Amino acid sequence: DAGVTQSPTHLIKTRGQQVTLRCSPKSGHDTVSWYQQALGQGPQFIFQYYEEEERQRGNFPDRFSGHQFPNYSSELNVNALLLGDSALYLCASRRTESGYNSPLHFGNGTRLTVT
Protein backbone atom coordinates (compact mmCIF):
# COMPACT_ATOMS: atom_id res chain seq x y z
CA ASP A 1 0.00 0.00 0.00
CA ALA A 2 1.83 3.09 -1.27
CA GLY A 3 1.84 6.08 0.99
CA VAL A 4 1.82 9.69 -0.11
CA THR A 5 4.23 10.19 -2.98
CA GLN A 6 5.64 13.51 -4.13
CA SER A 7 7.68 14.50 -7.14
CA PRO A 8 10.23 15.73 -7.77
CA THR A 9 12.28 15.26 -4.60
CA HIS A 10 14.53 18.23 -5.30
CA LEU A 11 14.20 21.23 -7.58
CA ILE A 12 16.31 24.28 -8.31
CA LYS A 13 14.68 27.30 -9.94
CA THR A 14 15.60 30.90 -10.66
CA ARG A 15 13.78 33.94 -9.32
CA GLY A 16 10.78 34.84 -11.44
CA GLN A 17 10.28 31.33 -12.80
CA GLN A 18 7.27 29.13 -12.24
CA VAL A 19 7.24 25.67 -10.65
CA THR A 20 4.80 22.76 -10.41
CA LEU A 21 4.99 20.17 -7.64
CA ARG A 22 3.01 16.94 -7.72
CA CYS A 23 1.43 14.71 -5.12
CA SER A 24 -0.34 11.36 -5.16
CA PRO A 25 -2.31 10.71 -1.98
CA LYS A 26 -2.29 7.49 -0.02
CA SER A 27 -4.61 4.88 -1.45
CA GLY A 28 -8.19 5.49 -0.32
CA HIS A 29 -7.55 9.12 0.64
CA ASP A 30 -9.54 11.88 -1.02
CA THR A 31 -8.39 15.07 0.69
CA VAL A 32 -5.01 16.62 -0.07
CA SER A 33 -3.32 19.47 1.78
CA TRP A 34 -0.10 21.31 1.05
CA TYR A 35 2.33 22.74 3.59
CA GLN A 36 5.43 24.88 3.28
CA GLN A 37 8.26 24.24 5.70
CA ALA A 38 11.06 26.79 5.79
CA LEU A 39 14.41 25.69 7.19
CA GLY A 40 14.26 25.35 10.96
CA GLN A 41 10.53 26.05 11.14
CA GLY A 42 7.35 24.08 11.53
CA PRO A 43 5.18 23.47 8.44
CA GLN A 44 2.76 26.22 7.42
CA PHE A 45 -0.60 25.38 5.84
CA ILE A 46 -0.97 26.54 2.24
CA PHE A 47 -4.29 25.07 1.12
CA GLN A 48 -6.48 22.00 1.06
CA TYR A 49 -8.31 20.31 -1.80
CA TYR A 50 -11.34 18.07 -1.68
CA GLU A 51 -13.62 17.04 -4.55
CA GLU A 52 -11.37 19.01 -6.91
CA GLU A 53 -12.03 22.29 -5.12
CA GLU A 54 -9.94 24.43 -2.82
CA ARG A 55 -11.66 24.18 0.56
CA GLN A 56 -9.34 26.07 2.86
CA ARG A 57 -6.46 28.44 2.31
CA GLY A 58 -3.72 29.66 4.58
CA ASN A 59 -2.01 33.04 4.53
CA PHE A 60 -0.26 32.65 1.19
CA PRO A 61 -0.41 35.01 -1.82
CA ASP A 62 -2.22 34.22 -5.04
CA ARG A 63 1.11 33.23 -6.60
CA PHE A 64 0.42 29.90 -4.91
CA SER A 65 -2.28 27.93 -6.65
CA GLY A 66 -3.29 24.35 -6.89
CA HIS A 67 -5.38 21.74 -8.51
CA GLN A 68 -6.87 18.38 -7.65
CA PHE A 69 -7.61 15.81 -10.31
CA PRO A 70 -10.43 13.25 -10.44
CA ASN A 71 -8.02 10.54 -9.22
CA TYR A 72 -7.39 12.73 -6.10
CA SER A 73 -3.81 13.57 -7.05
CA SER A 74 -2.84 17.19 -6.72
CA GLU A 75 -0.49 19.84 -8.02
CA LEU A 76 0.93 22.92 -6.35
CA ASN A 77 1.93 25.76 -8.65
CA VAL A 78 4.02 28.73 -7.62
CA ASN A 79 4.43 31.65 -10.01
CA ALA A 80 6.99 34.45 -10.02
CA LEU A 81 9.29 32.63 -7.61
CA LEU A 82 10.99 34.61 -4.85
CA LEU A 83 14.08 33.66 -2.88
CA GLY A 84 11.81 33.32 0.15
CA ASP A 85 9.90 30.52 -1.54
CA SER A 86 12.86 28.21 -0.93
CA ALA A 87 11.51 25.53 1.40
CA LEU A 88 10.42 21.94 1.80
CA TYR A 89 6.92 21.51 0.38
CA LEU A 90 4.95 18.76 2.03
CA CYS A 91 1.83 17.11 0.73
CA ALA A 92 -0.54 15.39 3.15
CA SER A 93 -3.64 13.30 2.62
CA ARG A 94 -6.52 11.90 4.58
CA ARG A 95 -9.74 10.00 3.97
CA THR A 96 -12.49 12.50 4.68
CA GLU A 97 -14.82 9.88 6.14
CA SER A 98 -12.26 9.10 8.84
CA GLY A 99 -12.91 12.45 10.44
CA TYR A 100 -10.51 15.07 11.65
CA ASN A 101 -9.20 12.98 14.54
CA SER A 102 -7.45 10.66 12.12
CA PRO A 103 -3.87 11.55 11.28
CA LEU A 104 -2.77 13.32 8.15
CA HIS A 105 -0.34 11.16 6.20
CA PHE A 106 2.59 13.10 4.79
CA GLY A 107 4.91 12.52 1.87
CA ASN A 108 8.68 12.99 1.93
CA GLY A 109 8.35 16.44 0.44
CA THR A 110 9.86 18.39 -2.42
CA ARG A 111 12.82 20.57 -1.55
CA LEU A 112 12.66 23.73 -3.65
CA THR A 113 15.66 26.01 -3.92
CA VAL A 114 15.22 29.39 -5.59
CA THR A 115 18.43 31.13 -6.69
Partner 1 sequence: AQKITQTQPGMFVQEKEAVTLDCTYDTSDPSYGLFWYKQPSSGEMIFLIYQGSYDQQNATEGRYSLNFQKARKSANLVISASQLGDSAMYFCAMEQGAQKLVFGQGTRLTINP
User: What is the Cα–Cα distance from 7 to 101, expressed in whole angstroms?
Assistant: 28
Closest CB to partner 1 among residues 34, 114? 34
- Shortest approach of partner 1 to residue 7 CB, angstroms? 13
Binding status of residue 94 toward partner 1 by CB under 8 A? yes
Residue 101 — φ and ψ, nearest 5°?
A: -95, 10
Binding status of residue 90 toward partner 1 by CB under 8 A? yes
Binding status of residue 24 toward partner 1 by CB under 8 A? no
- Shortest approach of partner 1 to residue 111 CB, angstroms? 7
Beta-strand runs (E) in 1-115: 5-7, 10-13, 19-24, 31-37, 44-50, 53-57, 64-68, 74-78, 87-94, 105-106, 110-114
Binding status of residue 74 toward partner 1 by CB under 8 A? no
For the chain, give the number of residues.
115
Residues of this chain that bind partner 1 (CB under 8 A): 31, 33, 35, 41-45, 48, 55-56, 58, 88, 90, 92, 94, 100-109, 111
